[in-house]
């Protein structure tokens, strides 16, 4: 074996070792949480034994935390916000990628500028607007503030620019208008970017605690993260029960990410190909 081949083989092996080590460091806390959730009630995180594993913690956490309603609320809010963001991002992203109009670059810079403004800075004006619209303590308060997102607009704008213009021209020759081109040509080809936006938005809304905490007080509007926070306050010293609740609220987004990870990686990798 030549020296370059030997160096390349060593480099690949070293990269594999580093990646496995990084994966171990990241997954170890999740593994401990998962194992602790099966421990008997009252056990400490270190008192783990295969012989005394139980599912009672999950049943008790589900019932005492009233997670059924919380799961339904979080699912409804996450799907609604995701749908709004996909629609608004597709329309705005396509306009910024293909339409020629005065001030397009300035508008793009304005969209990008919104990415550096944390939502916490806008909470007071958003709260006042929601109060003026009588939306406090409604699903609208959880959905509408996140209906448009600069990241989604920029993501789809970048991906649309990687699609050849000739495909749109061919569709226009066949008599398609702009909306038909967007719906029948651009969006099917932008599937990786759409899946990426879906995962980012859905997971972000599922894990959001800030909006439910600020904009709602009604128990029937509790989301998963708010229910989990209240559950942790009640069972601070019961580690197995707490870890069971954490596992239940985490598994759905992990499964969702694993299902769409290929499209997610493709969408992220492709969106930076053109300026």
Which tens digit of pLDDT belongs to each residue from 196-207? Answer: 999 999 999 999
pTM as predicted:
0.86
Domain ranges of the chain: 3-56, 59-270
The architecture of the domain spanning 59-270 is Orthogonal Bundle (1.10)
> What's the pLDDT at 37?
83
Q: What is the mean pLDDT of residues 19-25?
A: 89
> How would you label 11-41 residue by residue, b for 16+ Cβ within 10 Å and e otherwise?
eeeeeeeeeeeeeeeeeeeeeebbbbbbbee
Which distant-in-sequence residues (6+ apart) come within 8 Å of 196 by Cβ? 155, 263, 264, 267, 268, 271
């Amino acid at each position: 074996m030549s020296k370059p081949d030997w160096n390349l083989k060593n480099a690949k092996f070293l990269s594999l070792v580093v990646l496995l080590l990084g994966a171990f460091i990241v997954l170890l806390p999740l593994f401990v949480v998962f194992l602790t959730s099966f421990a008997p009630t009252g056990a400490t995180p270190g008192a783990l034994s295969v012989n005394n594993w139980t599912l009672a913690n999950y049943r008790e956490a589900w019932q005492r935390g009233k997670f059924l309603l919380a799961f339904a609320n979080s699912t409804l809010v996450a799907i609604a916000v995701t749908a709004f963001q996909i629609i608004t991002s597709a329309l705005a992203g396509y306009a910024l990628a293909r339409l020629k109009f005065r001030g397009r670059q300035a508008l793009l810079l304005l969209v990008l500028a919104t990415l550096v403004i944390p939502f916490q800075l806008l909470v007071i004006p958003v709260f006042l607007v929601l109060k003026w619209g009588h939306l406090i303590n409604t699903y609208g308060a959880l959905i509408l503030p996140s209906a448009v997102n600069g990241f989604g607009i920029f993501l789809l704008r970048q991906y649309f620019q990687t699609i050849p213009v000739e495909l749109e021209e061919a569709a226009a020759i066949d008599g398609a208008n702009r909306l038909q081109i967007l719906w029948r040509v651009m969006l099917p080809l932008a599937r990786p970017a759409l899946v990426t936006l879906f995962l980012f938005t859905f997971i972000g809304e599922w894990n959001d605690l800030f909006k439910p905490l600020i904009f709602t007080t009604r128990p029937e509007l509790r989301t998963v993260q708010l229910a989990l926070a209240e559950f942790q306050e009640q069972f601070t010293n019961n580690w197995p029960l707490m870890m069971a609740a954490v596992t239940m609220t985490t598994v759905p987004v992990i499964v969702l990410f694993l299902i769409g990870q290929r499209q997610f990686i493709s969408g992220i990798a492709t969106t930076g190909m053109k300026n």
